[in-house]
Structure 1
Amino acid sequence: MIREDILDAWRAHLADGRRRSPHTVRAYVAAAARLLDAEADRRTWASLAFIDTATLRDQLARRRAEGLSNASAARELSALKGFIAFARRQAGVEDAAPPRMRGPRIKKGLPRPVTPDDALNLALEVAADGSEAWIGSRDRAVLLLMYGAGMRIAEALSLRGHALPLGETLTVTGKGSKQRVVPLLPVVRDAIADYAKLCPWPIEPDGPLFIGAKGGPLSQGMVQKAMARARTVLGLPASATPHALRHSFATHLLGAGADLRSLQELLGHASLGSTQIYTKVDAATLLDVYREAHPRERR
C-alpha cells in the first residue's frame, strides 16, 4: 500500500465511522502521517499492526524534542493508539488493543468565565468594530448565541438557513452528531434576526446561517479575530475567547441555581463528569468575590 491510501482509509474511518469533528480528523490524520514518515518501512496494515510500545515512545520523544506540550503530546499519543488499533482491525489481528503506554500528566485548569457585563460588552464591541454594519451585526449575533445558549463555536457556525425564523428553542447538532434542544433568549433571537435583515448575501435554507464577507461560510478564525480585537479594547485577558462564552453560560446558570443534569443536557456533555467541573468554577468565582470584599484574606 502507499502512504496516501493508508491515510485516506484512516481519515474515512474517523470522519464517517467515528463521526469525529473536522478539527479532530485533521489532527489525528496528521499524527498518523508523521508516524508513517518516521517508520518508512511500514506500508502495510500488517506491519503497522505490530508497532510496539518502544516505537510509540520513540515517536513521542521525537515530537517532544520539537517542543510539543504535555497536552499536545497526550493528544498525539491518543491519535496514534487509535491509528494502531485501526491498523490491527484492518490486518485481521484478533487482539485489536493498541500498545499500552501512559501519556504525560496534564494539569487541568479551570475554565475562565467572563462576567455577564463583559460578555455583553464584547458583543457590543464586535458590533461597533465590524468593517460593515452587517458584519458587526453578524459577529454580535454569533457571540450572543454562544453566551446565551452555551453553544460551541463550531455548533453556532454549523447552523443552516432553515433555522430561520427562530423560535423559542433551537435544535443543535453537537459532537458525535448528537442533537440537543436549547432555549433561545429574546435578545439572542433579535440579534440573529437583525443580522439576517442586514446580510447582503442570500441566506439559503440549506446554506450556512452565518455568512462570511465574500459570501461563503463564516470561519471560526474570523470570529476569534473579532473577539481578540474586542477583548483588547475592553482590557480583558487572553482567556476571554469565544469558548469562554460557553463556560460563562454554564457558570452563570449554575450560580443561578441550575442543577447539573439540566446543565449537562444544555451543554450536550456525554457524561456528567464533564459538567461537574463547573461546580469548581462557581466555587472559585465565589472565592474571588470573597477575597475582593475582604482584602485581608488575600494570602
Structure 2
Amino acid sequence: MSEIFSEEKARTAAWFRQLRDEIAAAFEALEDSHATGPLSDAAPGRFEVTETTRASDDGSDAGGGLMSVMRGGRVFEKVGVNVSQVYGHLGEAAQKAMAARGVPGMEDDPRFWASGISLVAHMQNPHAPAVHMNTRMFWTPGAWWFGGGSDLNPCIEYDADTEHFHAQQEVHLAPHGADVYPRLKAWADEYFYIPHRHRARGVGGIFMDDRNTGDWEADFALTQDIGRAFLPAYLPLVEKRRAQDWSDADRETQLLHRGLYAEYNLVYDRGTKFGLATGHDANAVLMSLPPLAKWY
C-alpha cells in the first residue's frame, strides 16, 4: 500500500488497538466482579481472540484484524470488540457508492485503506442495556475522513441511564466546540432510525461520517474523544443494572428488541455493507448480531 499518509495511518491504527485493549480489560474485570444474580456461580467470561483476514481478488495481502468475542459470561451474553486494518482496491460497486457520496478520484484510482474499532454488547440481564460503538479512519488517494460514534440500545428504557450516557458524551465532545455534540446527536438520531419500523433502534448517542475539516489532527482528536467517552458513559449503567431482578416477560422483551437490532444491522448499517462488499471476514463483520433474537 502507498506510503502516502503512512504516519497518520499508523497512529490511527495504534489508537484503535489501544482502545480495544482498554475496553476488553474493563469488560473482563466487570465479569470478575459480578458476585450476585442468577449467573453469579458461572465462570467469568473471557474474550476469545482470533486473527481475521480480508480476501483480495488477486490473492495478495489485503490486511485483516483481530476479532475478540466473549460468549456466555456472567454479565455479557455476547460481546465483540474488533479492530481491523484493511487495504487494497475497491470493487466497482464500492467505487460507485463512494463516488456518489462525493469522494473525489474514485473513477481514476480505487485504492483504499481503512482502520477502525467496532464494538457491540448484548447483555445477560434484560435491564442492562445493549450498546454499540465504532470509530474508523478511511483513506483514498483523493481524500481521507473519520467516522463513527456510539449509541445505547436498551430493551427496557430508564431515563436516568439515557441521561447519563448522553451527558458523558457531551462532556467529552465539549472541547471540540459547543456545536459538535448537538450536531452528532442529531446525526445519530437520523442514522439509527429504522424506516420500515418507523422508530429508532435505541435511545440514541452520537454519530459522524465523512469527517474531514482539513485539519487531520483536530479530526483525529475528536475521534479519540468519542472513543474515550465510551467506558465512562456505559460501565456505570451495567454496574447498576447487572444484578437487577428480571422476569420471563423481561427476557421476551429483550429478545424482541434484539430482532429490531438485527434488522437494522442487516438492512441499513453502512459498516456491515462495506465489510461484506470488500471481502472482510464475514464472521467479524457480523459479530454485531445477537446470539438469540425473536420476531413476532
Give the structure-2-normalised TM-score.
0.28
Structure showing greater radius of gyration is 1
Q: Larger strand proportion, structure 1 or 2? A: 2
Higher helix share: 1
Compute the TM-score of the two structures, normalised by the length of structure 1. Answer: 0.28
